[in-house]
Chain A
């Protein structure tokens, strides 16, 4: 690990339990609570090096954390021995979502140059606000000359499923912006397949898939470090040596595997486990944690994602049907892994990408031979939705052992079988904008879908002030929101954060 775990105060533990995304931490707190495994360090080195990189992973897999950490280590204020300066730039900027072509290039140039100015504000380096890509490139080259260092641009939230309007222009920029003194890296989600006609994903970038896999040698150690850093009480319980308690390593490995190595889901799991563990961590607490996650995290996540998918919105309902069928089938043989014939996957391609994005499945192999002939990808399943389908949802000692290892049987879904035969293939909609902008503001009420959502009172106040939809709030200026009764600076940040969760992936 790169940093020794720092004990957190009780108040900090409570505060940070509510923070699920790396980009929502202040940089000092970010550095304290984030732990990076050996395999993470390899990725950070790749992000620091020259050459274009696309960092690919589902929601909560740690893309932003790795990018922010690279930006932190190579920040303009960091030691002068670094050969590069890295600048982390979130592309969560609404106008970019709807633009394409030259308008996108202009908005992108302005946004990026202003972000760079913000990062350089404590230095004596200048960076002009520019309106086009050539000027941006020139300013970056000047910055490289002035510092004698290579400039690494880390574009977070660069590409999403269902948001294709701007992607072709973005990947054109990504391909042409780099030079001997400028390196570009971008975080993208699985399922992003629209790279435009000029971008060749195999030749124009190295794609790094960052999904954590329980086969990695540092998997258990990594999640044990995260658990110890953010949940010291749970770590103490696990290390207490009580006969009824599972060890820290076993708990961390199992929970990490249960959520397919997803950091955000792991934090949810630890929150639930804290509530279910009084004086030890046993199978019952783990069982309740997994069942809680299935009901209050994974299924609501599909609901949350649905209005953000643009033309693929109908695929979210199909994803629910496919997941129900697949998890029931695998639970019969207690298989935590499944090979699905590639023709079936091709038929429901967006559906599987959505399930992967939402953390129901993680693709581990692209092509495995099947007993009945043919080949298909192998997916690991999250153990939360799997346990939900096991008889009685009971996590027995035997099941815990099987699922903790990598020796569970692999189920197979064949081409000619009955699976999914009654599930219609979703047809993409003709939709230019995201449905989420049209949703009424009361959709953001606190619920399993939006666990940190708005109270009834705040919703009423916003409605009274004329904010009818999520889009109205998302597009409102700070001044407009601050003019609402009872909305001060603190609530302004909170509402921005809630709307960001609703709008962005």
Chain B
């Protein structure tokens, strides 16, 4: 799929090991091998990008506003993805250490926006419509804009959740908030891990093991902690908080690798789980979701 195209979940069913074998065999053949190697690398990248986009944005079809928004976000997600270092993107390991956290944080925010669009379409559609008004000024702060604190993480206390005096307006609709945990993530997570446990061939890998090590009560607290830590860490370079010469010490290659890996974990895991929520739109079928997730397992 070309950059900018729509996600194609079917493409991600290709087994990476098969492509890897082809890669090795052909690369022994000199110049021709180098071309094939390049082509295979590009194909692998596209498959992985497509897989991540299909997990997070689903398979948006039709011409409605929500589908159009998600198609746009899938395209933007792919563009950002390529700005990450290998093996996830196309950048070299020694790429600009300040550019990687920027791309990683943008990918995390964009992924969360796409999942908010699927979990709570109203929230994103009103922002879209606000942006379509002639009065929309990018230089001006918009109170309705999607915010990390408030839309992704809930701001303020929510306990006790089911207090009879609590009005719906005080029930946080944050993507990783307590109410979304109870209504969306918890049941979806149970369906997801049951499907992973029964998958044939078995899905194995560090991320799957990490995922299966959490029960449904621990899932959102864990992923929320990971998301918050990754967001804060990536933000240090964006807001440029480094007032001493500590950039190199903080954003060394091992640390950037962990930061990007953590953000890919958050996005791919949430993207996989959300497709097991019965009320979320544009869900790929279970097989396609697991095939896409297998690439990040």
A83 smallest CB distance to B (angstroms): 3
A366 within 8 A of B: yes
What is the bound-complex CA distance between A83 and B246, given in angstroms? 11
Contacts of A216 in B (CB 8 A): 204
A424 smallest CB distance to B (angstroms): 26
**Which residues 233-278 of B have a CB within 8 angstroms of A?**
233, 236, 242, 244-246, 248-250, 252-255, 257-258, 262
Interface bits A346-384 vs B (CB < 8 Å: 1, else 0): 000000000000000001111111000001010000000
A50 within 8 A of B: yes
What is the bound-complex CA distance between A363 and B209, given in angstroms? 11
What is the bound-complex CA distance between A215 and B201, given in angstroms? 12
Listed residue (B214, B248, B253, B255) with the most chain A CB atoms within 10 angstroms of its CB: B255
Contacts of A215 in B (CB 8 A): 202, 204, 209
Question: Which of A42, A363, A365 is in CB contact (< 8 Å) with B206?
Answer: A42
Say whether A83 contacts B224, CB under 8 Å.
no
Interface bits A178-220 vs B (CB < 8 Å: 1, else 0): 0011000000000000000000101100100100010111000
> How many residue pairs at the A-B interface have CB separations less than 8 Å?
98
A59 within 8 A of B: no
Say whether A203 contacts B229, CB under 8 Å.
yes
Residue ID in chain B nearest A48 by CB atoms:
B254
B91 within 8 A of A: no
Q: Which stretch, A10-18, A21-29, A88-96, A142-150, touches the partner chain B?
A: A142-150
Question: Which of A342, A365, A375 is in CB contact (< 8 Å) with B212?
Answer: A365
Query: What's the tally of chain B residues with a CB closer than 8 Å to chain A?
Result: 38
Listed residue (A49, A200, A213) with the most chain B CB atoms within 10 angstroms of its CB: A49
What is the bound-complex CA distance between A213 and B206, given in angstroms? 10
Q: Which stretch, B23-31, B46-54, B121-129, B189-197, touches the partner chain A?
A: B189-197
B144 within 8 A of A: no
What is the bound-complex CA distance between A149 and B252, given in angstroms? 10
B213 within 8 A of A: yes
Residue ID in chain B nearest A45 by CB atoms:
B254
Contacts of B218 in A (CB 8 A): 202, 366
Known contacts A83-B252, A180-B246, A180-B249, A366 near B212 by CB under 8 Å: yes
Contacts of B258 in A (CB 8 A): 45-46, 49-51
Say whether B212 contacts A150, CB under 8 Å.
no
A39 within 8 A of B: yes
B209 smallest CB distance to A (angstroms): 7
Say whether A45 contacts B257, CB under 8 Å.
yes
A interface bracket (residues with beta carbon within 8 Å of B): 35 or more
What is the bound-complex CA distance between A213 and B254, given in angstroms? 25
Say whether A366 contacts B213, CB under 8 Å.
yes
Say whether B250 contacts A209, CB under 8 Å.
no
Say whether A365 contacts B213, CB under 8 Å.
yes
Known contacts A365-B197, A366-B218, A200 near B250 by CB under 8 Å: no
Known contacts A180-B242, A181-B246, A202-B222, A363 near B254 by CB under 8 Å: no
Contacts of A50 in B (CB 8 A): 233, 250, 252, 254-255, 258
What is the bound-complex CA distance between A144 and B204, given in angstroms? 39
Contacts of B210 in A (CB 8 A): 209
Say whether A84 contacts B229, CB under 8 Å.
no
A475 within 8 A of B: no
B287 within 8 A of A: no
B204 smallest CB distance to A (angstroms): 5
Say whether A363 contacts B213, CB under 8 Å.
yes
Contacts of B226 in A (CB 8 A): 202, 206
Contacts of B233 in A (CB 8 A): 50-51
Question: Which of B215, B229, B236, B253 is in CB contact (< 8 Å) with A366?
Answer: B215
A456 within 8 A of B: no
B69 within 8 A of A: no
- Judged by DSSP, the binding face of A is mixed
B221 within 8 A of A: yes
Residue ID in chain A nearest B220 by CB atoms:
A202
Residue ID in chain B nearest A183 by CB atoms:
B255
Say whether B249 contacts A144, CB under 8 Å.
yes
What is the bound-complex CA distance between A83 and B248, given in angstroms? 7
Residue ID in chain A nearest B226 by CB atoms:
A206
Residue ID in chain A nearest B223 by CB atoms:
A202
Contacts of B221 in A (CB 8 A): 202
Say whether B202 contacts A406, CB under 8 Å.
yes
Interface bits B49-82 vs A (CB < 8 Å: 1, else 0): 0000000000000000000000000000000000
What is the bound-complex CA distance between A46 and B226, given in angstroms? 14
Say whether B254 contacts A369, CB under 8 Å.
no
Contacts of A148 in B (CB 8 A): 245, 249
Contacts of A369 in B (CB 8 A): 190, 194, 197
B120 within 8 A of A: no
B216 within 8 A of A: yes
B225 within 8 A of A: yes
Residue ID in chain B nearest A144 by CB atoms:
B249
What is the bound-complex CA distance between A298 and B213, given in angstroms? 25
What is the bound-complex CA distance between A49 and B250, given in angstroms? 9
What is the bound-complex CA distance between A267 and B248, given in angstroms? 41
Interface bits A33-54 vs B (CB < 8 Å: 1, else 0): 0000001001001101111000
What is the bound-complex CA distance between A215 and B197, given in angstroms? 13
Contacts of B252 in A (CB 8 A): 49-50, 83-84, 150
B158 within 8 A of A: no
A122 smallest CB distance to B (angstroms): 23
What is the bound-complex CA distance between A86 and B169, given in angstroms? 50
Contacts of A45 in B (CB 8 A): 254, 257-258
What is the bound-complex CA distance between A493 and B115, given in angstroms? 60
Say whether A180 contacts B250, CB under 8 Å.
yes
What is the bound-complex CA distance between A366 and B189, given in angstroms? 12
Question: Which of A39, A42, A203, A367 is in CB contact (< 8 Å) with B193?
Answer: A367
A209 smallest CB distance to B (angstroms): 6
What is the bound-complex CA distance between A95 and B233, given in angstroms? 36
**Which residues 146-192 of A have a CB within 8 angstroms of B?**
148-150, 180-181
What is the bound-complex CA distance between A209 and B193, given in angstroms? 18
Contacts of B216 in A (CB 8 A): 367
What is the bound-complex CA distance between A42 and B205, given in angstroms? 12
**Which residues 118-144 of B have a CB within 8 angstroms of A?**
none
Contacts of B197 in A (CB 8 A): 365, 368-369
What is the bound-complex CA distance between A215 and B212, given in angstroms? 13
Say whether B249 contacts A150, CB under 8 Å.
yes
Known contacts A45-B257, A202-B224, A149 near B249 by CB under 8 Å: yes
Additional 17 contacts, C-beta under 8 A, given A49-B254, A368-B193, A368-B197: A45-B258, A46-B258, A48-B254, A51-B229, A51-B233, A150-B250, A180-B236, A180-B249, A180-B250, A202-B221, A203-B225, A203-B228, A203-B229, A206-B229, A213-B209, A364-B212, A367-B216
> Which 8 A/B pairs are nearest by Cβ-Cβ distance?
A83-B252, A202-B225, A367-B215, A366-B215, A49-B254, A50-B255, A150-B249, A49-B258
Q: Show 10 residue pairs from A and B whose CB-CB distance is below 8 angstroms, ordered by the A residue.
A: A39-B206, A50-B233, A83-B249, A83-B254, A180-B246, A206-B229, A209-B209, A366-B215, A367-B215, A377-B215
